[in-house]
Chain A
Amino acid sequence: MRTWRTALLSACLPGGPGRPGVEELDLAPFWALFDSTAPPHLRLGLGLGAGVVGLLPLLLLRPPLPWQSAAARDATIRKLASWPAVGELVEIGKVVACLAVFHDPGVQAAVRS
C-alpha cells in the first residue's frame, strides 16, 4: 500500500533543486503519525486516491503510476487532475504530499534557513 501512496505523493510533488523528493525521504515517522491520528475520511481518501490514481493510467494505455518514470508520472498526474472526481483525489494527494515532505526535519530546516 505504501508503494502506491508514495507514488501518488511523488507524482503530486516531485523533488526540486535542493529539495528531496518523496522517495528520497524517510517517511516512516510521517506515516506512523498519519496512520494513528488522521481521521478515517482522510485515510480513506488517500487510500482510494492511491489506488484509483495509481491504476487509472491503464485506461490511458500506460503502466500503473508506481511503475512510471518521473516524467511520465508528471504527465499522468496533470491529466488526471483535470478529470471530474479524480481531481478531488489528486487534491488529497497534493495536500498529504506537502504535509509529508515538510514533516521532514531536514526539509524544514532548509526552507527556514
Chain B
Amino acid sequence: MTWIDGQSLREPLVLDADVAIVGSGPAGSAAARELAQAGARVVILEAGPWLRGDDFELSAFGAMSASYRGAGAAVVLGVPPMPLVQGRMVGGSSPINGAICWRMPRDIHDEWLAADPVLGESLGWDAISEATDAIEQRLGVAPTSPELAGRKNLLMAKGAEALGLEHRPIRRNVRGCVGSGRCMQGCPSGAKQSADRTLLADALEAGATLVSSAEVQQITHSAGRAVGLVARAGARVTVRADAVVLAASAVQTPGLLLANGIGQGPVGRNFQCHPGVSMAGRFAEPVRMWEGATQGHEVTGLRREGLKFEALGFGPGILAARLPGIGGELAAEVDRLAHWVDWGVAIRATARGRVRRLFGRTVVQFTPSPEDVGRFRRGLRVLGDMLLAAGAGLLAPGVRGFDRTVVDGRRLAELESRGPRGASAYLGAITHLFGTCRMGSDAASSVVRPDFRHHAIDRLWVADSSVFPTNLGVNPQIAIMALATICGRRVLESER
C-alpha cells in the first residue's frame, strides 16, 4: 500500500500513472479498484484527510468540523439556502453517511434508457446487476437486525405497520456493528464498510497510490487530450497520466471542469438532489435516539411518489437544535431529550439547479419547485401520522408559519392541504447529488458519452454521480459504486 499524506509534503511531488483519479469516495474507490486489480498504475488524489477510528469525535460539531465540507454548514444558494451535506475525507461521504444501501431501482434505469436508448450499450441492466452483486458482497450489505435497531427504528416499523405502509429494515454496509449510533460522525469501531475500508483498500492492496489532503486544481490537457493533474497540498503534487478519471462528486467534478475552462455541453447544469425534511416526535417513554443503528428502518411504500422515509440518528446536539421553542421552553424540551426522535423524508426533487463558478469558488444554486414543496407537505404529514401511530404525544413539524407543535392528525392533514406554499418555510437539508455532467449520446445535451468518456477531451472520464441523467429517489452509494466500476472497465478497454 502506498499512502502519502499530502499535508506533510515539503517538496514538490511528481508521480507517473496509467490513470489519475480525482476523489476517493464511492466512485473514485470503485474505479480505482477495478483499474488497479487489472494491473493499471493508479494514483488517487483526495482533497480531504484520512480519518479513522479515534479520529471520529463523540461531539457532533467536532466530528463535522473534521470530516464535513464547511463543518457541515455548507449551503446551497437558493430560496431557502439549504445545508448541503458532503463529506471531505478519504472515502468521500461514505464514512459519514447513514450506511444505507439500495440497488439501482429498475424503474429508474428504464427511465434513463427510455430517454436515451444508446445508454443501454454501456449501462445494460445485467452489467449493473453483476457489478452491484459483487459490491454488496464486498461491503457486507445486509438488513439491520432487530437486536441492533434500537427503539427509534422499531417505533418506525410500528408506525408504518399501523398505517399499512410498506416498510423494511434498512440494508446497511456494516460488519460487526455495535449500534453506537454514530454513522454520521464516522464509525468509531470501524464496523461501517465505507469506501475507504473496502474498495479503496482493495485498490491500494493491488498497488494503487493514494495522496490525501491534496486538492486538485488543474486538469492538464494538451491538444484535446487529458495528460494529468496538478494538486495543492503541503507542496505541489503533479501526476502525469495516460488517462484521467474525475470522481469528486456532482459538485466538485463540474466545478473542476469549469475552473479549467472545460465547458463542454451542459456542465454544471441539471443539478439534481434529494432534499429532506424531518418531523420530530416526543414519546412518553425514553427512546434515546442516539442509540442503536443510526438509520435502521425505512418506509418504501411511497417511493414511486418520490417520497422515502427513514428513521434518523445523530448526536444529542443536533437533535437538541431540532426541538421546538427557544429559551426556557427549549431548555425544558432538551431536558427531555431522551424522549424525542426525529424521522426524515427524502424527496426525489423535480427542480433542477446548477453548479457554477463565482469569484473563484464553486457554488450550487437550487430552489425546490412547487411540486417539491408539495412533497415536503405530504411527507411531513405521513411522518407525523406514523409518529402518532407509534405512540408519540407531541410533534414538532419544523415548518415556519405553521404550528410549532402538533398533537393530532387533523392538523397534519391541514399541513398537507393548507400548509405554507413557499419552500423557505421548510427546514431541510440536501443530500445525494446528481446530473451535473450528465451522460448521453448527444454532445449538445450531455457532458460525457454513454461509456463515461468526456465528449470533448480525449482520455478524460467522469465516474461519479454527476453522470447520472436523473436523481434516483433512493440512497445512491451502491449505484454510484456499480456505475463507477463499469466506468473503470471502459477505461481499461480503451487501454487495450
A-B contact count (CB 8 A): 94
Interface of B, secondary structure class, is helix
Interface of A, secondary structure class, is helix
In chain A, residues 57-113, which have Cβ atoms closer than 8 Å to a Cβ of chain B?
Answer: 73-74, 77-78, 81, 90, 94-95, 98-103, 105, 108, 111-112
Question: Which residues of A pack against B, CB within 8 Å?
Answer: 11-19, 30, 33-34, 37-39, 41-42, 73-74, 77-78, 81, 90, 94-95, 98-103, 105, 108, 111-112
Q: Which of A19, A74, A77, A102 has the most CB of B within 10 A?
A: A102
Whether the pair B326, A102 counts as a contact (CB closer than 8 A) is no
A102 to B59, CA, bound (A): 7
A15 to B328, CA, bound (A): 9
Also in contact, A37 and B65, with CB within 8 A (given A74-B327, A102-B59): yes
Chain A residues within an 8 Å CB radius of B119: none
Q: Is B437 an interface residue (CB 8 A)?
A: no
Q: Across the two chains, which residue of chain B brings its CB closest to A81?
A: B326
Q: Is B9 an interface residue (CB 8 A)?
A: no
Whether the pair B326, A39 counts as a contact (CB closer than 8 A) is no
Whether the pair B317, A98 counts as a contact (CB closer than 8 A) is yes
A38 to B359, CA, bound (A): 20
In chain B, residues 67-96, which have Cβ atoms closer than 8 Å to a Cβ of chain A?
Answer: 70-71, 73-75
Question: Shortest CB–CB separation between residue A32 and chain B, in angstroms?
Answer: 10
Question: Which residues of B pack against A, CB within 8 Å?
Answer: 58-62, 65, 70-71, 73-75, 290, 315-318, 320-321, 326-332, 334-335, 337-338
A30 to B334, CA, bound (A): 20
Whether the pair B330, A13 counts as a contact (CB closer than 8 A) is yes
Chain B residues within an 8 Å CB radius of A108: 58-59, 315-316
Chain A residues within an 8 Å CB radius of B331: 13-16, 19
Whether the pair A12, B318 counts as a contact (CB closer than 8 A) is no
In addition to A11-B327, A19-B331, 11 A-B residue pairs with Cβ atoms within 8 Å of each other are: A13-B334, A16-B332, A16-B335, A41-B75, A74-B327, A98-B317, A98-B334, A102-B61, A102-B316, A108-B58, A112-B316
Whether the pair A73, B320 counts as a contact (CB closer than 8 A) is no
Whether the pair B70, A103 counts as a contact (CB closer than 8 A) is no
Also in contact, A78 and B320, with CB within 8 A (given A33-B62, A99-B61, A103-B61): no
Chain A residues within an 8 Å CB radius of B327: 11-14, 73-74, 77-78, 81
Chain B residues within an 8 Å CB radius of A18: 335
